[in-house]
Structures are given as structure tokens and as C-alpha cells.
Structure 1
């Protein structure tokens, strides 16, 4: 695959209003209004899980924009559809060589989108519990003590964090100033011996692991919200959403703005049908009762 030169520079050099890092109202990420929620779907239809995510944000008073490359079935009423080709052409969509997932492309897409437009990105396995009314310049949260996740990510257009991550996702084998010797060696091998492709990156390289490194490099780690904000359920406990462990939403998640349901774990050979009805009481059924 031939890398697309200067794509990020082209986006970055477009007129940006307001000034990078500032909101139109001078009040941070969302100002006096609720954030516009933006997300992407690649595929022909939404499962119940994705419908639940979109409906939860609509129910909390947010405008929701869903970027698509084709007609998609089961899109909830009230969701605003947008052409994903406005951000990255469909010809650039790639699937990971191991597993065939599109998470690597989705990461690239969100960084270019946020660099160009700003706003609030959420993955379609994030369930909103209360309105996103953040006043800080950038919004992201920890998934544990060490790792920052990018399933919820917001900010103003032109942010340096988005610029760095868009470059990394577009050209994953380009050396970064914070790469260690091992990472530089891996990138050299991939660039010169493995055809310089985007689809053979390591898991999380342009996702949580990559953005955590960039945030630390930029000295922005103090802006990270605690894990309770978006990731109150640890990824190792992902299957607890389907049993009675967290059935009482108010009791277990009083400080949470949202719950990430770890779709990647669900789809990674778990055998779970996202359209199924699960035993009650369970977290997933409690959320479905609230929003569907």
C-alpha cells in the first residue's frame, strides 16, 4: 500500500476556527452546549449493541453523527448520517492482517476527523449514562493505572495530540521521537522488508498504547479522567456485563459518564450474539431496558 503523502498536512492547513485548543465559547471542550457525538460504522447493519450505544447518547440529549460508507440497517431514528468519505476515502479502509478487524482504520479515522472538525468521538460500544458536559480542553480517560483509552476522545480542531496520532496512523512505520530502540527496529523491518503496510501494526499501536505514549510525550497526562469516567469495567472483566455482577447501574457506576462494553473482546471468539437477549438481572439487559 502506498502511503498518502501530506494527507494530514492538507487537513491541518485548512482554516481552523476557533484557535486550536480553545472552544468557540472559551469554556473548554463542550462550552455551554452538549457535545456533538461522532462515530463510525463499517458494515451493513447495526447490532443491538450499537443501537444501544447510539440511543443512549440521544436519550442524554446529544446530537449523534454516524459516519458511514454505505447504507446501514437498524440506525436509530434521530441519528444524523454523514458520508465517511468526507474524512477518509473508502479506498483507504483496511483490515488487520491478523483477525481482519477494522479497529486500526477506525483509529486513523477518528484522529483525522477530530483534527479537522473537533468534537467528541465515541466508539459504538460506549453506553452513555449522563450528559457529556466537559469544560476541559481535551477529553480522554484512563482504562487502568497505566493505560489511556481512545474509545472516548474529544477536543478542538487542530490539537497537537490529534495531529501526532493522525500521522502515526497514516504512516505507522515512521519513527517517532519517543520510540525506543525495539520499536525503531520493528518499524525499520516493517518499512523496508514488509512492504510498508498499515495493516500489520501491533494491537493497540495506534490505539490505547499509542495514544498513551503521545499523551505522556506532550505532558497531557494530568488531563486524563479517572477510569471510573468511561471504563469502570476492566477489560479483563468484560464478560461481567452479561451476568448479574453489575446489574444495579446506579449502585455500581455513580461517578461514570459512560460504560465501555469492550466489543473487541465480545467479537474475539467469545461466541456471544450481540442481538441476543441475556439473563436478567444483568447489566446489558438493564441498559437495554433503559434505552431501547
Structure 2
């Protein structure tokens, strides 16, 4: 299958976990010329994976990290678009498994994650794609306000911009430069017509992801059909589960365990590292929690805006509000009252 399209991904860091090794190796084992771009040497890239400097495509500085999480996902999003503009390779996230060769006769390679949303974990576009050009042009303005956002979200960002504090795209809500933006521009250009069904690359939905690593319920033959080319492993949530609860191994008899055996990958040789957790002091700070609860209850701005302002997850704000509403401990209630007095 020498005529198979070339596959490429990006890894920011100097070490792969076994999950990335498995996914990258699956493409090479299926006969794809597979390139891994990186900004520094990676010491445990599987055989037959070609390691290339990412600087050939997109500069490493400034490294575009999400302000709240520190994730370089935004940098990867910008790299992906520029790679598609400069090469004929198909982009895949490093947690996309090759179930069968990507033997496509078209340059448009992407699929629905769920109704209304195209995921960019697999993305192939011709260099002259209108959607690709529009995305690259749009993100030249790092303070741009996404027309795909809800009207109230756009208005909130416009107010901040007009007040002299425009929100940089690294400070916007998680995923701003990702699938929602891609879906918007594919629709705008009309190229959305090339989107493949969910079965193509996302046969196991995000909500069902644990089936990939559990013995029961397992991934059944009905999940993976003749139309399935890839299987997304949802690494952002899957890797913490594997590291924290599964001792780094998918369970015996699981779909993923079988793939490790098929491709000769040993998790003990490249374990998933522990994730960076939110500062425990932040989570236990009653004053901050009380302040967030009060602002949340007042609802003068959205939780999205508060999340950007305080660099905390919206779920954390909701938990703080719940504590205040549900008879918080006296010490918490006193702090909240004192803060409320100061605000008045």
C-alpha cells in the first residue's frame, strides 16, 4: 500500500507514554509513512516513525498554552493548520488509533464526532481549501471573537474588548481554537459535505470511552464496522483514568489490551505520568471559594468570564456556589459574610 497518504502528528515534550506509542505505531504498522513533529528530541519514538523538527512548520515561541490549564493544545491547533497548508499529510492526534488503512481517494478527511460537531483529531484538507485559509486568517488576530460563540458570549467578550481588556485566545474557554471553530469554517466554506459519519473515526463516543479499557462492557464488533478507519482514545480523560485507577494497564480482555499485544507495546516501558493537578491550596482556600460563590450567585457576569478571571474551572465555581447555598460550615459562612460586607 505504497500509495497510502502520509500521516503526521505533533508531540510537545521529550517522552511519549505507551498510549501515544501504540497509536503512532498503528499507522506505521498499517503501511503509512508516519511523521512525528516535535520541538525537542523524543527518546522513545517507536521504530518506523519519522521524527522531524516542528520548527519547519510553526515556531515554538511563543508557546501558546491555555491560560487556565497550561495545556499546549492551542499551539497544536495552530501547528495543525499550518502543517496542512504546507504539506500533503493528514493530521492525526497522537491518541488516534489506526483501525484500518486511511486509503482515501480524497484530500478531505475528517468526520463527525457527534451531531453538529466535527472533531479535528483527524483532519485532512487540500492546500487550497477555503476553510483552511479562513481559519489561518482568522487566528492571525489572537484577540478575535468567534462568530460560532453564542450571542451572549460574543457580547461579553465585546464588552471586555471595548473596556480595553480584550481576551487573548489562550484565555478563552477550553477548545476555542479546536473542533467548534473547525466545524464553523467547514460549514461556511461548504466543505462540511465531506464529513464522514461518526463511525469513521469516533465509533466509541466520549461518554462511552471507558469501554475501550474495560473487560465488560467491551467494544463489540457492531461498534467497529467496514466504515471504521480510526478509533479515538480520548486521552485527555483516558490517561488520568489509566494512571490513577488502572495501574497504567487496560484490563485483561479489553479492546485496548488486545491492541497492546497486537503491536508489541508494553505499558511498563513508557508509563503514563501523573497529571498536573489543580493546586490543592487553591481548592482548600475558603476565602477564594466564598468570593467565587458570591460572584456566582450575583450572576453579574457569566461563569465563563469568572473562569477566565480566576483561572479556575467552571465546575469548581459551581461547587463553591453549592457550598454556600447548602448550609456551608460556619467558618465558610463567616468568611463569605465578611467578604460580602467588603463588597458592599
Give the TM-score band, short-chain normalised.
0.7 to 0.9
Structure with the greater relative contact order (CA < 8 A, sep ≥ 6): 1 or 2?
1
What TM-score, normalized by structure 1, do the two folds share? Answer: 0.81
Aligned 1:230-245 pairs, distance under 5 A: 230-245=201-216
Q: Answer yes or no: is 1:117 the counterpart of 2:87.
A: yes
Structure 2 unaligned regions, length at least 5: 265-344
> Conserved in 1, the CA contact under 8 Å of 2:203 and 2:228?
yes
Match of 1:97 among 59, 67, 72: 67
Aligned to 1:204, which of 156, 159, 175? Answer: 175
In structure 1, the residue matched to 2:108 is: 138
Aligned-partner Cα distance in 1 for 2:197–2:243: 29
Match of 2:96 in 1: 126
CA shift in 2, pair 1:190/1:230, >3 Å: farther
* Aligned residue among 231, 245, 257 for 1:285: 257
Where in structure 2 are the equivalents of 1:240-255 lying within 5 Å? Answer: 240-245=211-216, 247=218, 250-254=221-225, 255=227
User: Structure 1 or 2: larger helix share?
Assistant: 2
Aligned length: 261
Instruction: Name which one, 1 or 2, has greater alpha-carbon Rg.
Output: 2
What is the Cα-based RMSD across aligned positions, in Å? 2.5
CA–CA separation in structure 2 for the residues paired with 1:186 and 1:200? 14
Q: Under a length normalisation based on structure 2, what TM-score does the superposition of the two structures give?
A: 0.69
Gaps of 5+ in 1: 1-29
Q: 1:161 to 1:245 in 2, by over 3 A?
A: farther
Indicate which of 42, 45, 58 corresponds to 1:75: 45
Q: How far did 1:213 drift?
A: 1.2
Q: Is the 8 A contact 1:107 1:169 kept in 2?
A: no
The 8 Å contact of residues 131 and 191 in structure 2, kept in 1 or not, is answered as no
Asked if 1:263 is matched to 2:235, the reply is yes
Alpha-carbon distance in 2 for matches of 1:177, 1:74: 41
Mapping for residues 45-56 of structure 1, pairs under 5 Å: 45-56=15-26
Runs of at least 4 residues off by over 6 Å: none
Higher mean C-alpha displacement, 55-64 vs 189-198: 189-198
Displacement of 1:247 in angstroms is: 4.3
Q: 1:189 to 1:92 in 2, by over 3 A?
A: farther
Q: 1:91 is paired with a residue of what secondary structure? A: coil
The alignment partner of 1:132 has SS state of coil
Matched residue SS, 2:236 = helix
Distance 2:247 2:72 in 1: 20
Contact 1:140 1:152 survives alignment (8 Å): yes
Contact 2:118 2:182 in 1 (8 A): yes
**Superposition deviation, residue 87 in structure 1:** 1.5
Instruction: From 123, 137, 142, give the equivalent of 1:153.
Output: 123
